[in-house]
Structure 1
Amino acid sequence: MSAASAVRTFEVRHVQLARALFAAVAAVMITFSPDHSAAVGMSVFSGYATATAVIFLVSAWLVHPAGRRAVPIALGAITLVAAILGGIPVLRTPVGFFAVVIGWAAVSGAVELVSGIRGRRTQPAARDEILIGAVTLALVAGLLLVNPAYSLEYFIAEAGGAFTLTGITIGVGLFGGYAAIVAVFLGIAGFSPRRDEHASTVAASPAASAPSTPSNPEVAS
């Protein structure tokens, strides 16, 4: 069986749907949690990063052919390191949350964006990589604009109480919004029909489309 005719059980769309699922779980956990502290935010991020890293690493062998495994392995390793750092109790502080999430988003976003740009002419999922890479880098920009030590006291008469808006609350909220955007875009990408890469390669091949002719003219006559 040739490489063009081989059918893979798992495809890129399955990776996208799996990533979308865990991103949606992270977004829901942050959205419906009344506590947006550093400990909660780091716990959600660590769980999301762990699941995403496993998806990347497993997909390197189940989905991507030889020669295209460097990017998923790199993204899996980067995300796994971030997940491990997120599980360290001493780093579950506002500064630790911003440092770990910004570092992870900057490196992984750049890798995914560059991978999408380089493969935009040959890989069907390149546009999705460009989009997610850009959104991840946008998360970096948003978090860099927030001061972890920021604190604002305000009073809501209708609620009958005083509240405090902190930098970590904004930071965790930004990550939750990022996770929701990733879930939506990857979910749409995973369910969208796309041209089969192997089929298009075979169809575009001159040898596959040209009719066979006898090699010896005398035999044909």
Structure 2
Amino acid sequence: MSAASAVRTFEVRHVQLARALFAAVAAVMITFSPDHSAVVGMSVFSGFATATAIIFLVSAWLVHPAGRRTVPIALGGVTLIAAILGGIPVLRAPVGFFAVVIGWAAVTGAIELVAGIRRRRTDAVARDEILIGAVTIALVAGLLLVNPAYSLEYFIAEAGGAFTLTGITIGVGLFGGYAAIVAVFLGIAGFSPRHDEHTASVTAAPAASASSTPSNPEVAS
């Protein structure tokens, strides 16, 4: 069996499923947490970013061939930096949360979106990169519309108490919603028919037709 026909132990779908898993964990932690403070939000984001960075960096060697590793390495490096920043105590404040998450989402979203657009005609998974990149850029837009210092006090008679809606509560909620969307989409993409098989069949077709063409001019005539 040639190296080209050998089935990889780890494929793009495994990367998608791993990313979906940790995104789902982040979404569940935020959704079911009664505390949407900057400390909790940054802790969840830091854990999510650490796991995602490891997935990107490991996949650069286990999944992607030589010459196609720039994007996962760049995504892994930026995400790892964001995870480290998320662990700094002084940044676990509303402004720090918005700054780190917006910066991370802007860079990684742009990288994934541009990479998908450039490879949309040659790579079957480019559409997944385009959509995830677009959703990540949408997270940036949503967070930029929120004022970290925003505060609104309101009273719910049925609950018998007063509550306060803050900018950081909205920001953490937006990140949780983003993580849920990413988890659902990448989960569906990971369980869909293998993209690499489709690509292999497309690239193998010209080779098969070329090998079936007679090489002897006398026979062809």
Q: How many residues align?
A: 218
**Could you list the per-position Cα deviations for residues 171-198 of structure 1 after superposition, in whole angstroms to 9, with x for gaps in the alignment?**
0000000000000000011111145122
Post-superposition offset of 1:201 = 0.6
**Among 198, 201, 208, the residue aligned to 1:199:** 201
Post-superposition offset of 1:150 = 0.3
Cα distance in 2 for partners of 1:217, 1:107 equals 60
Q: Which runs of 5+ in 1 are unaligned?
A: none
1:84 corresponds to: 84
1:32 corresponds to: 32
1:64 corresponds to: 64
Q: Is contact 1:16–1:187 with CA below 8 Å preserved after alignment?
A: yes
Cα distance in 2 for partners of 1:159, 1:51 equals 38
Cα distance in 1 for partners of 2:182, 2:131 equals 9
Are 2:211 and 1:215 equivalent residues in the alignment?
no
Moved over 6 A (4+): none
Q: Is contact 1:79–1:108 with CA below 8 Å preserved after alignment?
A: yes
* SS state at 2:163 partner: strand
RMSD: 1.7
TM-score, structure 1 normalization: 0.94
Q: Which runs of 5+ in 2 are unaligned?
A: none
Post-superposition offset of 1:209 = 1.8
**Cα 1:2–1:89, aligned 2, differ >3 Å: closer, same or farther?**
same
Sequence identity of aligned pairs in percent? 85
- Give the AA of the match of 2:202: S
Q: Is contact 1:4–1:202 with CA below 8 Å preserved after alignment?
A: no
Post-superposition offset of 1:4 = 2.6
1:189 corresponds to: 189
Post-superposition offset of 1:136 = 0.2
TM-score, structure 2 normalization: 0.94
**Could you list the per-position Cα deviations for residues 91-121 of structure 1 after superposition, in whole angstroms to 9, with x for gaps in the alignment?**
0000000000000000000000000000001
